[in-house]
Amino acid sequence: MLAARAADVPGIIGECGGSMNCLTCHCYVAPADIARIGPPTQIESDLLDGVIEARENSRLTCQIVVRADLDGVTFSVPQWQG
Ligand code: FES
């Protein structure tokens, strides 16, 4: 979420600053990359049930920690957000 905001990615707002209260950082992880990201925590998974247009590959970007081994992972923003 912080990296997306720094890059002015449309649709990633991060209104709560990453405390999992706003859901304005919802993204989709490319299916081929989902295993690299790993599964959401139970709390994140429960919250994702409340986002519009949730999918199997939905994640909250504020819960994804940027690491070197994630280089090249592709994310997309739900159309209604962007
Ligand atoms: S920034 Fe608010 S839930 Fe992710």
What pLDDT sits at residue 14? Answer: 97
Distance 52 CA to ligand 1 centre (A): 14
Give pLDDT tens digits for 24-81.
999 999 999 999 999 999 999 999 999 999 999 999 999 999 999 999 999 999 998 8
Q: Answer whether 69's CB lies under 8 Å from 1's CB.
A: no
pTM, 2 dp: 0.94
* 2-76 CATH: 3.10.20.30
The residue ranges of every structural domain in the chain are 2-76
Indicate which atom in ligand 1 lies nearest the CA of residue 18: 1
What pLDDT sits at residue 63? Answer: 98
Pocket perturbation via mutation, ligand 1, pick of 5, 19, 41, 52 by most ligand atoms within 8 A of CB: 19
Per-residue pLDDT band for 82 (boundaries 50, 70, 90) equals: confident
